[in-house]
Amino acid sequence: MGKNKLKKFADMNGYRCVLQYPWARLSEEGFPHKGKWGSDFFNNGNPITLELGCGKGEYTVELARRYPDRNFIGIDIKGARMWTGASQAEELGLTNVAFLRTDIELLERFFDSGEVDEIWITFPDPQMQKCRRRLVSSRFLELYRRVAHGGARIRLKTDSPFLYAYSSRLLRENALATDADTADLYATDGLEEVKSVKTFYERQWLARGKTIKYLDFRLPEEGAAAVAEVDDSDIERDDYHSFPRGTARELKS
């Protein structure tokens, strides 16, 4: 590991807002704040918003700054990226921010039923070949239902025409309510708040002339049927996302 990365990990060990729970630690110790984020960690009963695959955590930090009466948790498996947002949160003295370094698949180990109020998913890998790994697939929406309340808001920002077409079909076929839906965010009136924060990946996609898509939708209400998966075989694959690892390698090249 490079010196720079080592320093970032050392910094993060000293940050109050960073919680690092790789699988080995989680299975040994369990997670102490599950069901008690409000009372144990944030010391308030305010609603909790997650940013999944937060990378550098632009939404987590900026929304926490704007909304001191809400709590924000950025989640990513990659610590070196998270360091940027975590360092900003520490410098700004934000007490309504946490960064959780873990796999999103383990969400239920960290949150009790109904503990989450809202979820942002910012520029996820489209996972064109592996539907079950897509952060907006029926499998993941069902996972979110187990930690968020019925009808909780999900906000998806993506550059991927494939992911946007797939998500739109999933919402339509499952009759999930949509509060906003645009295939070209910056050519759409309003939605100023969504436009005002740009993530690291978003800036790079914009620089490459890609349009940004945005969906704001609701999870099913309590007791509603499970979200059914849809057939994506006829949806055109993006020609600029690399296979099989998604955008990361593509953007570095």
Residues noted as catalytic: 125
Distance CA 154, CA 141 (A): 9
Q: Under the criterion CB under 6 A, does residue 125 sit at the interface with ligand SAM?
A: yes
Least spacing, CB of residue 84 vs ligand SAM, in Å: 10
Q: How far is CA 27 from the centre of its chain?
A: 23
Q: Under the criterion CB under 6 A, does residue 200 sit at the interface with ligand SAM?
A: yes
Q: Under the criterion CB under 6 A, does residue 173 sit at the interface with ligand SAM?
A: no
Q: Under the criterion CB under 6 A, does residue 250 sit at the interface with ligand SAM?
A: no
Degrees (nearest 5) of the Cα angle 170, 59, 143? 40
Q: Measured from the CB atom, is 33 or 198 closer to ligand SAM?
A: 198
Q: Measured from the CB atom, is 55 or 161 closer to ligand SAM?
A: 55
Least spacing, CB of residue 247 vs ligand SAM, in Å: 5
Q: Under the criterion CB under 6 A, does residue 206 sit at the interface with ligand SAM?
A: no
Contact set for ligand SAM, span 81-120 (CB under 6 A): 81, 103-105
Q: Under the criterion CB under 6 A, does residue 158 sit at the interface with ligand SAM?
A: no
- In DSSP terms, 97 is beta-bridged to 72
Least spacing, CB of residue 248 vs ligand SAM, in Å: 6
Q: Measured from the CB atom, is 105 or 173 closer to ligand SAM?
A: 105
Contact set for ligand SAM, span 49-88 (CB under 6 A): 53-55, 76-78, 81
Q: Measured from the CB atom, is 20 or 46 closer to ligand SAM?
A: 20
Distance CA 23, CA 190 (A): 42
Q: Are 201 and 51 in contact (CB under 8 A)?
A: no
Helices 58-66, 79-92: crossing angle, 10 deg rounding: 20
Q: Measured from the CB atom, is 1 or 175 closer to ligand SAM?
A: 1
- Contact partners, residue 83, CB within 8 Å, separation at least 6: 8, 9, 11, 12
Q: Under the criterion CB under 6 A, does residue 128 sit at the interface with ligand SAM?
A: no
Distance CA 37, CA 44 (A): 9
**Strands, sheet with 97-101, edge to edge from the N-terminal-most edge strand:** 18-20, 97-101, 71-76, 48-52, 116-122, 148-158, 213-218, 178-182
Residue 83: C-alpha distances to residues 25, 29, 91, 235 (Å): 20, 24, 12, 36
Residues that bind ligand SAM (CB under 6 A): 53-55, 76-78, 81, 103-105, 122-125, 199-202, 247-248
